[in-house]
Chain A
Amino acid sequence: AQSVTQLDSQVPVFEEAPVELRCNYSSSVSVYLFWYVQYPNQGLQLLLKYLSGSTLVKGINGFEAEFNKSQTSFHLRKPSVHISDTAEYFCAVRPFSGYALNFGKGTSLLVTP
């Protein structure tokens, strides 16, 4: 079984400031790691994924994440946020041999001027 913990339910930040959204996971099998974003009244959009290889993964909209196997973490970062980044962010894992995603509870990012 797998579980995902997003340590912060809400993260307020000023525009142009850096941000880090934290994600830790536990799993008895090898997993793939994902970050999804959900804007109000919309479905989920993939920001980035870690499958293998380099532990620093770059995604869309200037986001990046670093996989840390020893700490079982996959934190999401952006050096300078925009108002338009205000959304719900979900970390998710999927076993190598499985289909479905297991989501964390989500982090609400609120960017203000």
Chain B
Amino acid sequence: DTEVTQTPKHLVMGMTNKKSLKCEQHMGHRAMYWYKQKAKKPPELMFVYSYEKLSINESVPSRFSPECPNSSLLNLHLHALQPEDSALYLCASSSVGEKLFFGSGTQLSVL
């Protein structure tokens, strides 16, 4: 299994909603990542978890809250988002020091 699975594939939410994005991998990777990608732009790093501990937070607003419940799962909790947060959210995983495997992303629209 060399896949990173993200759910849902599409999400529409209002600015007062609370929702969560989910990411799962079964490759034994101990590093997991959240990236945000706007249309026609490169992915921007948001968070990195290493061995289930948050190791990098790229000054992301607190309305985004990551969680790594175990070595296979990564969540991104969303609350009180703004329309400018609409983007493709990509999850990735890797062995430490190795190439990243990306999921197909969640396309998020905030109304």
Contact = CB atoms under 8 A, between A and B. Distances in A.
Interface string A74-113: 0000000000000000100000100111011110100000
Contact of A103 (B31, B42, B55, B94): B42
Contacts of A105: 41-42
Nearest to A34: B99
A41 to B, nearest CB: 8
A56 interface: no
Given A34-B99, A44-B102, A99 B50 contact: yes
Interface string B55-87: 110000000000000000000000000000000
Nearest to A91: B42
A44 B56 CA distance: 21
Interface residues of A, number: 19
- The secondary-structure label for the interface of chain B is strand
A70 interface: no
Given A43-B104, A43-B105, A44-B102, A100 B56 contact: yes
Contacts of A34: 99
Interface string B80-100: 000000000010101011011
Q: Which bracket fits the contact residues of B?
A: 20 to 34
A87 B90 CA distance: 17
Contact of A101 (B50, B96, B100): B100
15 contacts: A34-B99, A44-B43, A44-B90, A44-B92, A44-B102, A45-B102, A46-B100, A90-B42, A99-B33, A99-B48, A99-B55, A100-B33, A101-B100, A104-B42, A105-B42
Interface of B: 4, 6, 31, 33, 40-43, 45, 48, 50, 55-56, 90, 92, 94, 96-97, 99-105, 107
